[in-house]
Amino acid sequence: MTDTALIILAAGQGTRMNSDLPKVLHEIGNAPMLVHAIKAGQSLDPERIVVVTGHGGEAVAAAARDWDDRAEIAVQTEQLGTGHAVAQAGPLLKSFDGDAVVLYGDTPFLSAETLEAMRDARERFDVVFLGFEAADPAPYGRLVMDGPLLSRIVEAKDATPEEAAITFSNSGVVAADAGILFSLVSEIGNANSKGEYYLTDIAALANARGLTVTAVACPEAETLGINSRDQLAAAEAAFQARARAAAQDDGVTLIAPETVFFSHDTAIGRDSVVEPNVVFGPEVTVESGVRIRAFSHLEGAHVSRGSTVGPFARLRPGAELAEDVHIGNFVEVKNAIIDRGAKVNHLTYIGDADIGEATNIGAGTITCNYDGVMKHRTRIGARVFIGSDTMLVAPVSVGDDAMTASGSVITEDVEPGALALGRARQVTKPGMARKLMEVLRAKKAKLQGK
């Protein structure tokens, strides 16, 4: 199979976004649009990935490399059109022997199937464009076909009435042998009203050389480009609709699908149930047979099969739940490993901790993990009972089968099987409550009299 290089155009400022952030770094499903474009291209198993940057280039380059450290960066210092942008990748791919596929950093929804169809078409044609049947073709260049061959691309403003009636429209995505692509790009002129170099001109240039040119069709929704905030919102809604449908197709029950929000990398196993108003941040894996109860938020967490989370629970990065763990209402877990069958059911913070198998954490427990400068770890063994309202001042450990009394502040290690009490002795003063209230009420009456 021919090697593939991706050329991802990501230099645009996106003035309609009215933002200091480069357009391609605006997020859909908690990932920059650029990452979605790279992920789409990765379905081709590319040998090389070149991202063409411009506005906010350093930030765009960093985002590309954060996702795939193989990403190479070409810089388009002047915004002189798509043809000019592709040309900036030429020096990096000068010796590349294979196909080049041009994608766009603000077009996040191309499917693996569509790109595979373009690859298949490349076995029979020299240059392959990607087109779509537009519901409203008015803004788009028209793909004028002659049977399987693409004879030319006509910009909307230049179309004759017959050409304007064509609905098969140009997405801008193109695939060709890298050497042929850059050779054609080098011949593009800028004799147009904007003085720019348009990548679409290579269709006519290729035909003039006697090369074979075609266009592959995909659904219009895959070609959605993002140029404004309202389009970004529409793209987010489209992403969420697809993610919900995919989850349900995979055997996940969504009780109120429209209220559940996924990230681009959310993974949920079959026969799991997600109740209403749940949000999945990045890097969440939920195994089979899990129940995520309403109004919970998960990010950077792994939940093993048979566990229950929520309602109103928060799992933060580093939360690792083993099988059959119960995390209840108003519980927050961060950077903690909770072993099989453990229960943390009420009003509790577990941070920087290890919780052993079948341990029960009482309501109002806090692992006091931060001393103002450093984080410290709490280690609780198996079958431990932590009484309600226990403060565990890390670093501290509690051995297997131990217990802490309710209301304790634990500052020293507790050996296995021991009962730890760390609270002040209760003092009761008969009649003092009545006397105190009388004094306070008199004081209040005197103040109100003024």
Q: What is the set of active-site residues?
A: 346
- Kindly compute the dihedral angle of the four CA atoms of residues 200, 204, 209, 213, in this order, to the nearest 10 degrees: 70
How far is it, in rounded angstroms, from Cα 418 to Cα 411? Answer: 15
How far is it, in rounded angstroms, from Cα 78 to Cα 85? Answer: 9
Pairing relationship of beta strands 127-133 and 168-177 according to DSSP bridges: antiparallel
How far is it, in rounded angstroms, from Cα 410 to Cα 406? Answer: 11
Q: 339 vs 67, 342, 359, 416, CA distance in Å? A: 31, 6, 8, 17
How far is it, in rounded angstroms, from Cα 51 to Cα 104? Answer: 9
Q: Identify which of 225, 220, 223, 262 has the alpha carbon closest to the alpha carbon of residue 241.
A: 262
Give me the residue label for tokens 């009435």: 161
How far is it, in rounded angstroms, from Cα 330 to Cα 309? Answer: 10
- How far from the centroid of its chain's Cα atoms is residue 410's Cα? 39
How far is it, in rounded angstroms, from Cα 169 to Cα 219? Answer: 11
SS3 state at 362 = coil
How far is it, in rounded angstroms, from Cα 21 to Cα 368? Answer: 37
Q: Which residues pair with 253 in a beta bridge?
A: 273
In degrees and rounded to multiples of 5, residue 115 shows phi and psi of: -65, -35
Q: Which residues pair with 367 in a beta bridge?
A: 392
DSSP 56: B
- With both helix axes pointing from N to C terminus, report the angle between 57-67 and 33-42 in degrees, rounded to the nearest 10: 40
Query: For residue 11, what are its two tokens?
Result: 């230099």
CB 122 within 8 A of CB 175: yes
